[in-house]
C-alpha cells in the first residue's frame, strides 16, 4: 500500500515539524488551564452519577457549589475530598445533595489536611481509572473471542432515531446486515449543553442524547450482536461540544470503542471558545488513550463549508495538527481515525481523480492510522439515483486507497434520516464494490508524474505553505482569521469561556496525574 | 392540454415507479401485500419487479405500473415569482438609487440547527449554483450570525445592526422543529417592532414550501435550490421597489 505516491520525504518531515511548532503553544496553554468539564470528569471517574429532580447532574451541582466557595483554579479534588474527610457526608452522592441545598461550605485544605485530601482524591480517581482499564481488557478479550471484521475498510453505519429503544433494534439490524461499527448520532444541540443528560432517553432531535445509560444499553445490545455474528461490533459516539472530558470518561467506563474527537471542530462549527476546546480536547484524548478508544477526527466538516478542491490542503493541515495533538495526549497510530471526505463537486472534470489524489495523500502521510473516509453530503441533491452512483464511486475510492473506516453513504442524504431500506441499499452498494474491487489497490499505481501524483504533491506543498503561515501567526490567530472552513473564531469569544480557569500553584487533579504517569 | 398522466415510454401510459418497505417477512403473502398497497394507491396492474428481505422481519419492494389518476395542470397552485430577477449589478444600482444606503441583511440558523449550509449558500461570497452569495453585492451589508442562534439574540443583533431583512435557515429538523423555530422567530420580531418598521422576514430550507409563509408568519419562504440571486432580487423588490412605490402613492 505504501509509497505509491512519490512524496518528498523532506517535505513530509517539514510538514510534521511545522505542525508540532504550531501545536506546542496550544498544548502549553492547555496545561495552564482547567475547565468545569475537566473537573466534573474527575467526579464522574470517582463514581458520582445521577441527577436531581430537574435533571441537572449531581456532578454539576457539586462542581458549581465548590466553584462558588473556593473558585475553579485549584481544581475541585482538594476541596471535595477535604469535605468528605471532615465528615460533611459519607460519600460523594450525599455531599452533592448537601452542597446543592447549601448545607456544606467548601475550603482549600492546608498542610496535613491538604496532603490527606490529595491522597483520598487520588485513591477515588484510581478506582475509576481501574474500571476504565478493566473495560479495555474486556474489549481485548471480546475481540479475541469474536474476532475483528474480515475486511478493511471497516463498515461504519449511523443510527439516529432520537429514542435509544428504537436505536437498539436498528443498530442490531444494521450489524446483521454487515455494519462493523455503529455510531449513534447525538441529538442536535447536545454539544452546547454544559452538562451530560442522565438516564435512558427517548426524545432527541435528529439524534439520541449521549448519556451513560444510553451508552450502557447500546453496548450491551451490540455485545449480544457480536456473539450472534461472530465478530466484535464496535460502538461510536461523540466526545465533542462543551462536555468532551466527561463524555470521554463515560465512554471509557462503558466500553465504547470509537469516539468522534476533533481538535478544532467545536471551535469552528459550534462556536465554542478555542481555549475551552483545547483544554477539554487534551484531557478527553488522554482518557481515550488510556481506554484504548479509537478517535475519529472531523476534517470532513471543512469541506461541507469550503470548496473541496480549493480547501484540500486545509484538510491535510488539520490532519497533521490532529495527529500532533493526539500523540501528545498519548494516543497511538492505530487509534487515529483521521478524517477526510469525498466532497468534490461531481460536475467538475476529473473529480474522481482528484478524490483519489487526496485520499492517497492522506493514506501515505499517515500509513499506520486507520483513516476515516466520509461519504458525499454536499453534492447529494435529492436525486437519489444519482446519489446512489456517487456513493458507489465513494466506495470505490475508499477501496482503491486502502481507507480504514468507511462511513456508509446514504442515497437519501439531505432528504430524510435514513430509512431501513436506505441502509440496506447502501450496504449492498458497499458489498458490491468491496467484493468486485476490494483488492484493486494491489494493482493500482498512479503514474509517477501523472495527474494524481502531481495533484497530491501540490496539496502537500500548499499544506506546508499554510502551516508556515500558521506557525508565524499562531494557531489561535489563524483560527480567528477564518483559515479553517472559512469560519472566524477569536480566542476571547465563543461559548463556554466562563467555564475556563487558569490553574493556581495549588491546583490538583488526580485524574491528570494518573493519566500523565501512565504515559 | 391541462389533463395529463405520468409518462413512461408512451403518451398516456401512466407509468410510475415506487419503492417501499413493509414490516413483514419476505414471502408470497408479502408480495401480495405490496400489490394490494400499490392497487390502493391507484396502480393497476401493479408489477412487483423486485422484492428482497431486509433481515427476518422486513421486505423491500420495487413496484412498476400505471396509475389511474389524472392530473389537471390548470388546477395546480404555485407561487409564481412575482418580482423581476436582477443581476448583481442591477441589485446594487437599485439599492443605491432607491435606498441611498447599503441594505443590511442579518442571517442565522436558529434553534438547535447547526447546519449552516443553507444560510451560507445564500450569504457567503462563495455562493451556490455558480452564483455568488450576498456578501459579493457591494450594496448589501451581510451579518451572518452562524449556527444555533437564539431568537432573542437574533432580535438584538437585528436592532443593533438596523437590519432591513432577516434571513433564517432551517436544514436539519425533526418533529416539525423547523416550523416551531420559525414561528417563534416571526412572533418575536412582530412583538419587538412596529409593523411598518419591521425588517422583512425570510425563511429558507429544504423542508419548507413557499405556501407556508402565512403559517410561519414570515414575508417569504424559499425552498430547496434557491439561489442567492433570487433572494437578492426579492429583497430589492420588497425593500426598494415596493416601499418606494408605496411612499409615492401615500
Picking from B19, B55, B173 by the largest number of A CB atoms within 10 A of its own CB, the best residue to mutate is B55
Are the Cβ atoms of A206 and B19 closer than 8 angstroms?
A: no
- The pLDDT score that the predictor gives to residue A485 is 62
- Give the DSSP letter of residue A300: G
The pLDDT of residue A396 is above 80: yes
| Chain segment A111-146, per-residue pLDDT in tens | 999 999 999 999 999 999 999 999 999 999 999 999
The residues of A that are catalytic are 265, 300, 372
How far does the CA of residue A488 sit from the closest CA of chain B (Å)?
10
- The pLDDT score that the predictor gives to residue A1 is 44
| Chain segment B224-240, per-residue pLDDT in tens | 878 899 999 999 999 98
- The pLDDT score that the predictor gives to residue B133 is 84
- The pLDDT score that the predictor gives to residue B248 is 47
Beta carbons of B145 and B87 less than 8 angstroms apart: no
Residues of B in contact with A304 (CB under 8 A): 117
Residues of B in contact with A269 (CB under 8 A): 114, 147
Closest chain A residue to the Cα of B205, Cα to Cα? A414
Are the Cβ atoms of B54 and A176 closer than 8 angstroms?
A: no
Nearest partner of A77 among A31, A126, A121, judged by Cα: A121
Answer with the residue of higher pLDDT: A4 or A291: A291
Q: Which helix (H) or strand (E) holds B245?
A: helix B242-249
- Give the DSSP letter of residue A357: H
The pLDDT of residue A150 is above 80: yes
- The pLDDT score that the predictor gives to residue A4 is 85
Picking from B148, B175, B225 by the largest number of A CB atoms within 10 A of its own CB, the best residue to mutate is B148
Q: What grid cell was written down for B235?
A: 429583497
Q: Say how many CB pairs under 8 Å bridge A and B.
A: 65
Are the Cβ atoms of A205 and B206 closer than 8 angstroms?
A: no
Beta carbons of B85 and B120 less than 8 angstroms apart: no
ipTM reported for the complex, 2 dp: 0.82
Strands across the sheet with B15-22, in order? B15-22, B58-66, B47-54
Are the Cβ atoms of A424 and B174 closer than 8 angstroms?
A: no
The pLDDT of residue B115 is above 70: no
| Chain segment B5-29, per-residue pLDDT in tens | 999 999 999 999 999 999 999 999 9
Beta carbons of B105 and B123 less than 8 angstroms apart: yes
* Phi, psi angles (nearest 5°) of residue A483: -70, -35
Residues of B in contact with A388 (CB under 8 A): none
Q: What is the mean pLDDT of chain A?
A: 94
Are the Cβ atoms of A206 and B55 closer than 8 angstroms?
A: no
Could you give the domains of chain B? Answer: 3-73 (3.30.30.60), 88-249 (3.40.50.280)
* End-to-end CA gap in chain B: 44
Picking from A420, A428, A431, A432 by the largest number of B CB atoms within 10 A of its own CB, the best residue to mutate is A420
Beta carbons of A236 and A184 less than 8 angstroms apart: yes
pLDDT bucket at B120, cuts 50 / 70 / 90:
confident
Cα separations in angstroms, A303 against A18, A308, A312, A315: 23, 5, 8, 8
B45: cis peptide before it, omega within 30°? yes
Are the Cβ atoms of B20 and A414 closer than 8 angstroms?
A: no
SS3 B85: coil
| Chain segment A331-374, per-residue pLDDT in tens | 999 999 999 999 999 999 999 999 999 999 999 999 999 999 99
Which position among B40, B52, B89, B126 bears the catalytic label?
Answer: B126
Rounded Cα gap, residues A509 and A126, in angstroms: 12
Which of A204, A421, A487 has the CB atom closest to B21's CB atom?
A: A421
A214: cis peptide before it, omega within 30°? no
Q: What per-residue string of b and e applies to A156-172 under the rule 16 or more CB within 10 Å gives b?
A: bbbbbbbebeebbebbb
The pLDDT of residue B97 is above 80: yes
Q: Is A177 within 8 Å of chain B by CB?
A: yes
Nearest partner of A15 among A4, A23, A25, judged by Cα: A23
Are the Cβ atoms of A269 and B114 closer than 8 angstroms?
A: yes
Rounded Cα gap, residues A249 and A261, in angstroms: 13
pLDDT bucket at B249, cuts 50 / 70 / 90:
very low
| Chain segment A185-220, per-residue pLDDT in tens | 988 778 888 999 999 999 887 789 999 999 999 999
Nearest partner of A452 among A339, A387, A357, A373, judged by Cα: A357
How far does the CA of residue B174 sit from the closest CA of chain A (Å)?
5
- The pLDDT score that the predictor gives to residue B129 is 67
Are the Cβ atoms of B20 and A421 closer than 8 angstroms?
A: yes
Are the Cβ atoms of B52 and A424 closer than 8 angstroms?
A: yes
Rounded Cα gap, residues A495 and A191, in angstroms: 10
Are the Cβ atoms of B54 and A173 closer than 8 angstroms?
A: yes
Residues of A in contact with B146 (CB under 8 A): 271, 487
| Chain segment A235-260, per-residue pLDDT in tens | 999 998 999 999 999 999 999 999 99
- The pLDDT score that the predictor gives to residue A131 is 98
- Give the DSSP letter of residue A187: P
Q: Which helix (H) or strand (E) holds A237?
A: strand A234-238
How far does the CA of residue B166 sit from the closest CA of chain A (Å)?
20
pLDDT bucket at B250, cuts 50 / 70 / 90:
very low
The pLDDT of residue A297 is above 50: yes
Q: Per-residue pLDDT averaged across A450-475, rounded? A: 96
How far does the CA of residue A206 sit from the closest CA of chain B (Å)?
6
Which of A177, A188, A191 has the CB atom closest to B55's CB atom?
A: A177
Q: What per-residue string of b and e applies to A256-268 under the rule 16 or more CB within 10 Å gives b?
A: bbbbbbbbbbbbb
Max mean pLDDT among A279-283, B115-119, B243-247 falls in: A279-283
Closest chain B residue to the Cα of A310, Cα to Cα? B126
DSSP A94-159: HHHHHHHHT--------HHHHHHHHHHHHHHHHHHHHHHHHHHHHHHHHHHHH---SSSSEEEEEE
Beta carbons of A309 and A354 less than 8 angstroms apart: yes
Which of A204, A270, A420 has the CB atom closest to B54's CB atom?
A: A420
Are the Cβ atoms of B206 and A307 closer than 8 angstroms?
A: no
Which A residues in the span 253-312 are in contact with B, Cβ-Cβ below 8 Å? 269-271, 304-307
* Phi, psi angles (nearest 5°) of residue B221: -120, 135
Q: What is the value of pTM for the model shown?
A: 0.85
Answer with the residue of higher pLDDT: A6 or B79: A6
User: Is the dihedral angle over the CA atoms B243, B108, A307, A381 positive or is it negative?
Assistant: negative
How far does the CA of residue B117 sit from the closest CA of chain A (Å)?
7
User: How many CA atoms, within 13 angstroms, populate the side-chain half-sphere of residue B85?
Assistant: 8
Picking from B22, B112, B181 by the largest number of A CB atoms within 10 A of its own CB, the best residue to mutate is B112
Q: Is A67 within 8 Å of chain B by CB?
A: no
| Chain segment B55-69, per-residue pLDDT in tens | 889 999 999 999 999
Beta carbons of A283 and A247 less than 8 angstroms apart: no
Are the Cβ atoms of B177 and A191 closer than 8 angstroms?
A: no
Residues of A in contact with B111 (CB under 8 A): 189
SS3 B4: strand
Closest chain B residue to the Cα of A174, Cα to Cα? B55
How far does the CA of residue B124 sit from the closest CA of chain A (Å)?
9
Contacts of B157 (CB under 8 A, 6+ apart): B106, B143, B145, B163
Are the Cβ atoms of A205 and B224 closer than 8 angstroms?
A: no
Rounded Cα gap, residues B23 and B32, in angstroms: 13
Rounded Cα gap, residues A404 and A374, in angstroms: 11
Q: What grid cell was written down for A27?
A: 498544548
Q: Per-residue pLDDT averaged across A443-467, rounded? A: 96
Are the Cβ atoms of A424 and B148 closer than 8 angstroms?
A: no
- Give the length of chain A: 519
- Give the DSSP letter of residue A243: G
The pLDDT of residue A408 is above 80: yes
Which of B60, B147, B177 has the CB atom closest to A424's CB atom?
A: B60
Residues of A in contact with B20 (CB under 8 A): 421
- The pLDDT score that the predictor gives to residue B246 is 55
| Chain segment B24-82, per-residue pLDDT in tens | 999 999 999 999 999 999 999 999 999 999 988 999 999 999 999 999 999 988 777 88
Nearest partner of A483 among A369, A314, A304, judged by Cα: A314
Amino acid at each position: 500500500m505504501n509509497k505509491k505516491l512519490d512524496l518528498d520525504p523532506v517535505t513530509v518531515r517539514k510538514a510534521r515539524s511545522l505542525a508540532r511548532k504550531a501545536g506546542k503553544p496550544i498544548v502549553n496553554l492547555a496545561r495552564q488551564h482547567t475547565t468545569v468539564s475537566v473537573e466534573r470528569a474527575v467526579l464522574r471517574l470517582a463514581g458520582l452519577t445521577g441527577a436531581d429532580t430537574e435533571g441537572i447532574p449531581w456532578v454539576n451541582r457539586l462542581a458549581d457549589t465548590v466553584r462558588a466557595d473556593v473558585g475553579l483554579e485549584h481544581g475541585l479534588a482538594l476541596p471535595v475530598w477535604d469535605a468528605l474527610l471532615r465528615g460533611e457526608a459519607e460519600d460523594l452522592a450525599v455531599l452533592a445533595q448537601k452542597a446543592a441545598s447549601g448545607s456544606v461550605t467548601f475550603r482549600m485544605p492546608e498542610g496535613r489536611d491538604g496532603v490527606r485530601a490529595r491522597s483520598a482524591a487520588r485513591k477515588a480517581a484510581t478506582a475509576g481509572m481501574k474500571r476504565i482499564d478493566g473495560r479495555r481488557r474486556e474489549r481485548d478479550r471480546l475481540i479475541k473471542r469474536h474476532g475483528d471484521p474480515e475486511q478493511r475498510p471497516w463498515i461504519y453505519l449511523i443510527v439516529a432515531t432520537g429514542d435509544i429503544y428504537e436505536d437498539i433494534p436498528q443498530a442490531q439490524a444494521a450489524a446483521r446486515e454487515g455494519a462493523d461499527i455503529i455510531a449513534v448520532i447525538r441529538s442536535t444541540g447536545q454539544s452546547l449543553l454544559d452538562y451530560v443528560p442522565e438516564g435512558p432517553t427517548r426524545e432527541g432531535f435528529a439524534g439520541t442524547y449521549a448519556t451513560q445509560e444510553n451508552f450502557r444499553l447500546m453496548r450491551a445490545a451490540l455485545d449480544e450482536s457480536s456473539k450472534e455474528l461472530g465478530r466484535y461490533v464496535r460502538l461510536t459516539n461523540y466526545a465533542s461540544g462543551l462536555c468532551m472530558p466527561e463524555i470521554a470518561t463515560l465512554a471509557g467506563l462503558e466500553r465504547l470503542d470509537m469516539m468522534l474527537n476533533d481538535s478544532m471542530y467545536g471551535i469552528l462549527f459550534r462556536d465554542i471558545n478555542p481555549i475551552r476546546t483545547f483544554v477539554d480536547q487534551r484531557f478527553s484524548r488522554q482518557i481515550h488513550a488510556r481506554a484504548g478508544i479509537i478517535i475519529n477526527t472531523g476534517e470532513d466538516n471543512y469541506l461541507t463549508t469550503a470548496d473541496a478542491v480549493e480547501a484540500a490542503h486545509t484538510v491535510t493541515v488539520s490532519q497533521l495538527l490532529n495527529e500532533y495533538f493526539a500523540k501528545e495526549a498519548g494516543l497511538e497510530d492505530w487509534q487515529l481515525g483521521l478524517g477526510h471526505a469525498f466532497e468534490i463537486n461531481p460536475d467538475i472534470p476529473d473529480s474522481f481523480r482528484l478524490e483519489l489524489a487526496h485520499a492517497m495523500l492522506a493514506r501515505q502521510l499517515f500509513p499506520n492510522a486507520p483513516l476515516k473516509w466520509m461519504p458525499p453530503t454536499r453534492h447529494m441533491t435529492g436525486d437519489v439515483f444519482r446519489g446512489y452512483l456517487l456513493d458507489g464511486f465513494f466506495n470505490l475510492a475508499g477501496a482503491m486507497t486502502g481507507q480504514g473506516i468507511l462511513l456508509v453513504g446514504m442515497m437519501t442524504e439531505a432528504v430524510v434520516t435514513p430509512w431501513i431500506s436506505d441502509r440496506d441499499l447502501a450496504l449492498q452498494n458497499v458489498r458490491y464494490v468491496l467484493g468486485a474491487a476490494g483488492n484493486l489497490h494491489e494493482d493500482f499505481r498512479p503514474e509517477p508524474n501523472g495527474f494524481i501524483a502531481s495533484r497530491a504533491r501540490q496539496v502537500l506543498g500548499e499544506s506546508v505553505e499554510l502551516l508556515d503561515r500558521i506557525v508565524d501567526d499562531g494557531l489561535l490567530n489563524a483560527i480567528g482569521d477564518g483559515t479553517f472552513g472559512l469560519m472566524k473564531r477569536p480566542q476571547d469569544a465563543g461559548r463556554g469561556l466562563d467555564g475556563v480557569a487558569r490553574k493556581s500553584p495549588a491546583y490538583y487533579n488526580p485524574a491528570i496525574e494518573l493519566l500523565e504517569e501512565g504515559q | 392540454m391541462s389533463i395529463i398522466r405520468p409518462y413512461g415510454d408512451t403518451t398516456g401510459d401512466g407509468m410510475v415507479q415506487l419503492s417501499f418497505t413493509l414490516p413483514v417477512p419476505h414471502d408470497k403473502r408479502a408480495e401480495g401485500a405490496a400489490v394490494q398497497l400499490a392497487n390502493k394507491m391507484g396502480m393497476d396492474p401493479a408489477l412487483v419487479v423486485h422484492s428482497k428481505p431486509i433481515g427476518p422481519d422486513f421486505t423491500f419492494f420495487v413496484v412498476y405500473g400505471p396509475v389511474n389518476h389524472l392530473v389537471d395542470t390548470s388546477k395546480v397552485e404555485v407561487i409564481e415569482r412575482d418580482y423581476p430577477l436582477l443581476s448583481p449589478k442591477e441589485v446594487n444600482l437599485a439599492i443605491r438609487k432607491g435606498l441611498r444606503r447599503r441594505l443590511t441583511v442579518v442571517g442565522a440558523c436558529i434553534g438547535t440547527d447547526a447546519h449552516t449550509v443553507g444560510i451560507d449558500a445564500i450569504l457567503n461570497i462563495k455562493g451556490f449554483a455558480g452564483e455568488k452569495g450576498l456578501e459579493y453585492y457591494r450594496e448589501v451589508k451581510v451579518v451572518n450570525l452562524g449556527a444555533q442562534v437564539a431568537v432573542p439574540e437574533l432580535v438584538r443583533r437585528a436592532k443593533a445592526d438596523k437590519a432591513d431583512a432577516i434571513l433564517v435557515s432551517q436544514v436539519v429538523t425533526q418533529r416539525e422543529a423547523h416550523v416551531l423555530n420559525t414561528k417563534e422567530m416571526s412572533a418575536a420580531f412582530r412583538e419587538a417592532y412596529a409593523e411598518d418598521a419591521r425588517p422583512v422576514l425570510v425563511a429558507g430550507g429544504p423542508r419548507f414550501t413557499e405556501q407556508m409563509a402565512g403559517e410561519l408568519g414570515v414575508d417569504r419562504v424559499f425552498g430547496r435550490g434557491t439561489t442567492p440571486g433570487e433572494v437578492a432580487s426579492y429583497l430589492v423588490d420588497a425593500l426598494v421597489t415596493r416601499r418606494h412605490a408605496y411612499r409615492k402613492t401615500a
